[in-house]
A and B are shown apart, each in its own frame.
Chain A
Amino acid sequence: MAEVTADHIHAVAHDDHGHDDHGHMTVEENNENMKLGMWLYLASEIVIFSIMIVGYIVFRVNEPEVVSEVHHTLGVGLVTINTFILLASSYFMVMGLRAMQKGDRQGMLRWIGATALGGIIFVGGQYIEYSELAHLGITMGYDSATTWSTFGMRFYAPTAFHGAHVIVGVIWALIIMKRGSEGRYDNNPIGIEMFGLYWHFVDIVWIMLFTLIYLV
């Protein structure tokens, strides 16, 4: 990264064109562009998740007995704990960014590490839940012998797709930790903020899935 100084930031802030003398983007401009790009990506993710959620809602409205039966059998204990873990990991994430913005690299590494751990525990909990569902015969495949099998596809599509996002997030968190330990974010923590936007989005999707699939 090019050497950036406070004087440089102030100087370009007074430039009528918003660029430095060489026409390059400033750190601030670059950060804003990266954030806009990430929000656009998240907007596209909303569309994908919406399709899956709509598929579930249509099934939920038309087959309420099947969904009630699955709810009654599974309960909400495990998934509630999992939800708390994901909410906590979102908190750890934002605290990691806060630590880095305060110049506390070690603090950032601890918080982001806790975020990754939360993601791993969440995926582990999801694995346990899937195992229980498979034991009940609820799989992705269709089996005319059981009415529950029709629930499987609508349930696994959004939750497994979300789980895949959590796994990607955990890998991303580990990369952030490696790069952070090398001092890559000491001058500009935008990389951590990008990851934060992604991770919080994953958290929001789960907040909606938890309510729609497990509670409503």
Chain B
Amino acid sequence: MAEVTHEIAEHTHDDHAHSDTVVVLGREITVNGGIYTVVFGALGILTILEVLFAEVLNSMIAGAPDAGFLAAIKSFVLLGLAIVKSSLVIWFYMHLKDDNKILAVVFILPLLIAALSVMFVLSIPPTGYGV
């Protein structure tokens, strides 16, 4: 019966997901947990970078003549890093990389609608919603 478990697993996920050896930036790495551990490391490093970047930019923004520009740069970079982190989780941990691509459509469609809604709401001047 254990063979059946493996049979099902093989039908749903590629073998490399269970391998401890992965290729990262052209180099072969062997680590317990394979790609999952590598992704966890990447998530940790990106989070540290996020926090450091935010702290550095905050200290630069305070009293700077071009504070608006720096704040825009900060938002853009931080949101970019958050999207990269989320994509790593979706792609590897949620196995969208190996699963039926219709699941990606199911997930991405509401995300696009939400993103468009955010842009629409933000385009309304503050007086539009009585703030």
Contact = CB atoms under 8 A, between A and B. Distances in A.
B20 to A, nearest CB: 10
Interface in B1-59: 1-9, 11-13, 17-18, 33, 36-37, 39-40, 43-44, 47, 50-51, 54-55, 58
Given A31-B12, A197-B94, A203 B89 contact: yes
Interface in A48-68: 50, 53-54, 57-59, 61-63
Interface in B91-127: 92-95, 99-100, 102-103, 106-107, 109-111, 113-114, 117-118, 121-122, 126
A196 B122 contact: no
A4 B7 CA distance: 11
A80 B44 CA distance: 10
B82 interface: yes
A6 B81 CA distance: 43
Contacts of A101: 5-6, 9, 13, 18
B38 to A, nearest CB: 11
B90 to A, nearest CB: 7
Nearest to A59: B131
Give the size range of A's interface with the partner: 35 or more
Contacts of B122: 57-58, 61
B54 A215 contact: yes
A53 B8 CA distance: 38
B60 interface: no
Interface string A90-105: 1101110010111100
Contact of B106 (A36, A47, A62): A36
B90 A87 contact: no
A211 B126 contact: no
A75 B77 CA distance: 20
Given A57-B122, A215-B78, A93 B43 contact: no
A39 B12 contact: no
Nearest to B55: A76
A40 B43 CA distance: 26
A98 B131 contact: no
B129 interface: yes
Contacts of A59: 131
A187 interface: yes
A142 interface: no
Interface of B: 1-9, 11-13, 17-18, 33, 36-37, 39-40, 43-44, 47, 50-51, 54-55, 58, 74-75, 78-79, 81-82, 85-86, 89-90, 92-95, 99-100, 102-103, 106-107, 109-111, 113-114, 117-118, 121-122, 126, 129, 131
Given A87-B44, A90-B89, A98-B36, 15 more contacts: A28-B11, A32-B100, A35-B103, A54-B121, A57-B122, A61-B122, A62-B131, A90-B40, A95-B33, A98-B17, A187-B5, A188-B5, A193-B12, A203-B89, A211-B79
17 contacts: A5-B4, A9-B4, A31-B8, A50-B114, A62-B131, A80-B47, A91-B39, A95-B36, A98-B36, A101-B9, A187-B1, A187-B8, A200-B90, A203-B89, A210-B82, A215-B50, A216-B78
